[in-house]
Amino acid sequence: MMMRLLLSCAIGCAALLGPARTQAQTPQVLRIGMSSPVSTLDPHFYSTSPNNTAAFSIFDRLVHRGADGRLQPGLALSWAPVSETEWEFRLRPDVRWHDGQPFTAADVAFSLQRARNVPNSLGGFENLVRPIQDMQVVSPTVLRVTTAGAVPSLPSDLSFIAIVSEHVGKGASTADYNSGKAMVGTGPFRFTSYTSGDRLVLARNEAWGGGRPEWEQVTLRMVSNIGARTASLLAGDLDIIEAPSAADLPRLRQESQIGIFAVPGSRVGYINPIYAPAAEAPRITDSSGKPIEPTPLRLLKVRQALSMAINRPAITERVMMGTGSATGQWLPPGSFSALPELGLPAYDPVRAKALLAEAGFPDGFRMTLSTANDRTPYAAEITQAVAQMWTRIGVQTAVEAVPFSVYSARGARQQFSAYFGSLNNPSMEAGLLLRNLLMTVDATKGTGTYNWSRYSNPSLDALSARAISTLDDTRREQLLRQAAHQALDDVAFIPLYQFQNIWAARKGIGFEARADELTLATGAHATPQ
């Protein structure tokens, strides 16, 4: 409550300064307020939305995505399967790197190989290129890619991978990208400067193949504090911001100097039990403090009880104030392989308590639910709400909220009992989450990249593998739906809600809201004031 009062005060005070600062702003300079920090400029080191926003501002991809998530030509003008295990990509001619060197198919082959082998990478890209067995540079504008098996999602998968230059990137380390030394792309903006945790400054690439960008200079400012971000917009210090506070949206919509841009997102928020917690993880104990081994979260009835105890609509309506949609699955309605017949999971705390008793825990137990406090909007508040709901059925739950840098490192080492997290799914089909979050960890197959929980179900693995390797769209969708049902029936994880992606911009700035939540400067444009 105190935070909301402070935010309202900040909005009210800053609004007094808004119009004067806005009028003085030149339309060729764009200042973006990001909700989470860019942790690295190495475009292949760690896949997060802030990192990808930075990377895709400077580097192009073979295949781009439109704001609606549909695939579009990028550095590749076209792509097509030559056989069940071979794809051919025809590239744009006459593309040049920011330093003037010509772009060729050899750069693409180098990039796809590099994405697989970045030292100490935190993940997100290696699994996408793992199926690639061979690449043949047929000509400077033709690349053939051979995969270990049928990979119908290959063009979609490659839409996540930035293409870097071989002549600059060969031998370049992550530190070379972070320093700017290796930041030579073909994208809409050139690298100017980077201050870790503060800002990334970009300059227009006059020769970009997608057309001359509107903005001469773009600054991505990292402003994690939601109140400070909104106040900076109203004061005229920022032109567009990500994820304004839901509590402030009614007021912002009434501001004549502010525009709101929103679209249903492709990210799902969920709770994940840890099936094989590390020794350093908070222990789950009985009421006397005695550790329970193995973790009770391995029991289906316990997971069913925890899911049933969560009032999802209450979270989206009261905590998120309407900026999310309660769900029991991980795809937005209407998406390829979504489950239209699947309703919202029942909220039934009485039945949840009975399930706990049936599982052998009539008195419940004690546990800790962890989350990042600087990554996902309302993560700490949502985690606290879930903890209260679980406590009501006898699962005494403490909340642990830590910075994302700590959260991601500990999560990857299974140093939680359970955690609240989220996963963006721009592919808009079930296979991406199955492969990354629920399939058994296997580096040789590129599965389980974000499977921090160490969930492992051989039956689901086999069904998911069949689904994601099926070329026929109709059959693939059937298999993906079967796999989704199996995972949800097993309560492998607990989906809570789907995000709504929201931006606020000062008067005179329009923005193309994106389902993939990236805040790309190419989607912003000056409008008549």
Residue 268 covered by a domain: yes
Residue 477 covered by a domain: yes
Full domain range(s) for residue 411 = 264-500
Q: Is residue 346 very low, low, confident or very high in pLDDT (cuts 50, 70, 90)?
A: very high
Residue 322 covered by a domain: yes
Mean pLDDT of the region 190-206 = 97
Question: Residue 27: what pLDDT?
Answer: 53
**Helices vs strands, H then E, count in the chain:** 18, 19
Distance CA 523, CA 76 (A): 20
As for how many domains the chain has, the answer is: 1
Question: Residue 23: what pLDDT?
Answer: 40
Q: Is residue 422 very low, low, confident or very high in pLDDT (cuts 50, 70, 90)?
A: very high
Q: Which amino acid is at 391?
A: T
The CB density around residue 153, as the number of other CB atoms within 10 Å, is: 19
Structure token pair of residue 141: 């504008």
- Check whether 334 has a pLDDT greater than 50: yes
Residue 66 covered by a domain: no
Per cent of the chain over pLDDT 90 is 80
Residue 468 covered by a domain: yes
Per-residue pLDDT reduced to its tens digit, 464-483: 999 999 988 899 999 999 99
Residue 122 covered by a domain: no
Per-residue pLDDT reduced to its tens digit, 72-84: 999 999 999 999 9
Mean pLDDT of the region 284-289 = 95
**Residue 429 belongs to a domain with what CATH number?**
3.10.105.10
Q: What is the mean pLDDT of the chain?
A: 92
Residue 524 covered by a domain: no
Per cent of the chain over pLDDT 70 is 95
Question: Residue 486: what pLDDT?
Answer: 98
Q: Is residue 299 very low, low, confident or very high in pLDDT (cuts 50, 70, 90)?
A: very high
- Check whether 488 has a pLDDT greater than 60: yes
Q: Is residue 120 very low, low, confident or very high in pLDDT (cuts 50, 70, 90)?
A: confident
Residues constituting the chain: 529
Question: Residue 17: what pLDDT?
Answer: 34
Task: Give yes or no for a contact between 202 and 218, defined as CB atoms under 8 angstroms apart.
Answer: yes
DSSP-assigned states of every residue in 272-335: EE-SS--TTSPPPB-TTSPBPSS-GGGSHHHHHHHHHT--HHHIIIIISTTSEEE-SSSS-TTS
- Check whether 25 has a pLDDT greater than 90: no
Question: Residue 30: what pLDDT?
Answer: 98
Specify the pTM. 0.76
- Check whether 94 has a pLDDT greater than 50: yes
Task: Give yes or no for a contact between 88 and 96, defined as CB atoms under 8 angstroms apart.
Answer: no
Question: Residue 22: what pLDDT?
Answer: 40
Q: Is residue 19 very low, low, confident or very high in pLDDT (cuts 50, 70, 90)?
A: very low
Per-residue pLDDT reduced to its tens digit, 226-260: 899 999 999 999 999 999 988 899 999 999 999 99
For residue 133, what is the enclosing H or E element?
Answer: strand 132-139
- Check whether 9 has a pLDDT greater than 80: no
**Residues with Cβ < 8 Å from 256, sequence gap 6 or more?**
507
Structure token pair of residue 135: 């690449």
Structure token pair of residue 24: 């003085």
Question: Residue 333: what pLDDT?
Answer: 86
- For the chain, what is the largest distance between any 2 Cα atoms, rounded to a whole number of angstroms? 71
Residue 181 covered by a domain: no
